[in-house]
Structure 1
Amino acid sequence: MTSIEVVEFIYNAAILMAKNYKKDEIMQKSIFLNRPNLVVSATDSSTLDAICKTNNNNTFDIVEIRLDELVQEKNLKEKISSISHPLLLTCRHPKEGGQNNISDPLKRISLIEPLLPFASAIDIEISEFDKMTNIVSEAKTKDIKVILSYHNFITTPETSDLNLIISEAKRHDADIIKIATTTNSLKELINLLSIKENSTIENLSFMGMGNHGMASRLIAAQSGSILNYTAIGKTKIKGQWQLEEFLSALNLN
């Protein structure tokens, strides 16, 4: 695919998205519908408090609780219990973007487990699966969905390598597979987008970061990425959309 063809592909996808993405499809209390779900992340006290005040907001579907970033948050259980949207619990490992250097699996499990009664899903890195099997098994017995994820903050591997990562997550019986890579070149963007084109997995979430991150996320939402992450307030990752700007780009506000 030439650079011109890539640009045309992105442009056509954006036009198609604006025509087909319906606002009345946004708010449904499920992660597992055959359409994109918008996720907002609570990463500090201010974003958590803002989300707690938006229970009637139908512009997003799911709230991710970043436990690695909220480890010092007072009254966390009380606050998240007041959120009416489905909750996704994440305690991100530091080697894949986690904060506060929480790498010990027992510590991570101790942060996740008390909040499972409020959770619709948990997110565990594919690379850490073998160390987190206890919490994965407990989640599944409680009908809490398990997202297995891969993050690369340097590059986007070849599509064939990404497909191997996806296959590993599938072997671990992931309910959703999340792939987030850095897309600073058109080749990296194509590598990422190609995983959806060649995949038979329905519950796949994929997104780029970096120079082409914003373009990748628009295309991903229209192409069936099951989880599409946005920020309330200031974005912390290059290539991520602020919620209102993403809705505007999708012609939803």
Structure 2
Amino acid sequence: MTSIEVVEFIYNAAILMAKNYKKDEIMQKSIFLNRPNLVVSATDSSTLDAICKTNNNNTFDIVEIRLDELVQEKNLKEKISSISHPLLLTCRHPKEGGQNNISDPLKRISLIEPLLPFASAIDIEISEFDKMTNIVSEAKTKDIKVILSYHNFITTPETSDLNLIISEAKRHDADIIKIATTTNSLKELINLLSIKENSTIENLSFMGMGNHGMASRLIAAQSGSILNYTAIGKTKIKGQWRLEEFLSALNLN
């Protein structure tokens, strides 16, 4: 069996497993740590406005507000205050895919902090944790969940290296650990999926990007990935699913 045939087999198996996936398992209005959550990201004015019009939509659970991409958005606080879904605040560092070159930790904190009253969670890169401890501590005191994340847009490291990254996030008392890597080869796909098989961390979110990203995300959702990211409208990352297509693949619409 060739590598392509193996990937197709995994992909088709994930779709078949989805036939038994219960819709009410992911249709939640809070960030639960004992079940999958579907996340949609607001990355520009059009997606933010579209999300604001879907407050009664039960097909997703969490709205990620990408502050690095919405830095010029007018009336942002007013708009997000109208969203009934739990909000995840992310100001991504440019080294890990952030836009508008916002690398200064004080600037990033200044974008996140005023919106904490509306947040259910914040996402901070593991590599930037030491520079963002103030906002992490503040979030913790307000009972806001802290996601510590790792992104690799080039490859997927060996599973042993990923496990070291996960261990570091665990030492920092992450509520959820997110791993997103590039899965252009079968070996990279296996490296990524193996972290769930080998890890004792329950609150783990993992996903692939690139050639096998879509297959990895289906399998991840079936394997208990806590956060499963989709797009409303056009996808911006190769390997990401549009919300409607992901729901269809999971047999949820």
Normalised TM-score (structure 2): 0.96
What stretches of structure 2 of length at least 5 have no aligned partner? none
**2:28 aligned counterpart, secondary structure:** coil
Q: Quote the Cα distance in structure 2 between the aligned partners of 1:164 and 1:9.
A: 30
CA offset at residue 132 of structure 1?
0.1
CA offset at residue 2 of structure 1?
8.2
Q: Is the 8 A contact 1:205 1:228 kept in 2?
A: yes
Q: Quote the Cα distance in structure 2 between the aligned partners of 1:150 and 1:15.
A: 27
CA offset at residue 36 of structure 1?
1.3
| Segment of structure 1 superposing worse, 55-64 or 11-20 | 11-20
CA offset at residue 158 of structure 1?
0.3
**1:157 aligned counterpart, secondary structure:** coil
Instruction: Return closer, same or farther for 1:9/1:200 CA change in 2, 3 Å cut-off.
Output: farther
CA offset at residue 9 of structure 1?
6.0
Q: Deviations over 1:87-128 (max 9, x none)?
A: 000000000000000000000000000000000000000000
**2:27 aligned counterpart, secondary structure:** coil
Instruction: Return closer, same or farther for 1:151/1:223 CA change in 2, 3 Å cut-off.
Output: same
CA offset at residue 24 of structure 1?
2.5
Which residue is equivalent to 2:34? 34
Q: Is the 8 A contact 1:26 1:58 kept in 2?
A: no
Q: Deviations over 1:31-67 (max 9, x none)?
A: 1242211000000000000000000000000000000
Which residue is equivalent to 1:226? 226
Q: Is the 8 A contact 1:126 1:148 kept in 2?
A: yes
Q: Is the 8 A contact 2:64 2:87 kept in 1?
A: yes
Q: Quote the Cα distance in structure 2 between the aligned partners of 1:11 and 1:25.
A: 21
CA offset at residue 201 of structure 1?
0.6
Q: Is the 8 A contact 1:65 1:89 kept in 2?
A: yes
Q: Deviations over 1:164-202 (max 9, x none)?
A: 000000000000000000000000000000000001111
| Segment of structure 1 superposing worse, 235-244 or 16-25 | 16-25
Instruction: Return closer, same or farther for 1:6/1:34 CA change in 2, 3 Å cut-off.
Output: farther
Q: Quote the Cα distance in structure 2 between the aligned partners of 1:153 and 1:131.
A: 22
Which residue is equivalent to 2:134? 134
1:66-105 paired onto structure 2 within 5 Å: 66-105=66-105
CA offset at residue 15 of structure 1?
4.1
What stretches of structure 1 of length at least 5 have no aligned partner? none
Q: Is the 8 A contact 1:32 1:203 kept in 2?
A: no
Q: Quote the Cα distance in structure 1 between the aligned partners of 2:80 and 2:88.
A: 11
Q: Is the 8 A contact 2:25 2:36 kept in 1?
A: no
Fraction of identical pairs, as percent: 100
**1:123 aligned counterpart, secondary structure:** strand
Runs of 4+ in 1 over 6 A off after TM superposition: none
CA offset at residue 18 of structure 1?
1.8
Q: Is the 8 A contact 1:151 1:180 kept in 2?
A: yes
Q: Quote the Cα distance in structure 2 between the aligned partners of 1:183 and 1:124.
A: 22
Q: Quote the Cα distance in structure 2 between the aligned partners of 1:15 and 1:64.
A: 26
Q: Deviations over 1:186-243 (max 9, x none)?
A: 0000000000000111100000000000000000000000000000000000000000
Q: Is the 8 A contact 2:11 2:215 kept in 1?
A: no
| Segment of structure 1 superposing worse, 212-221 or 16-25 | 16-25
| Segment of structure 1 superposing worse, 7-16 or 229-238 | 7-16
Normalised TM-score (structure 1): 0.96
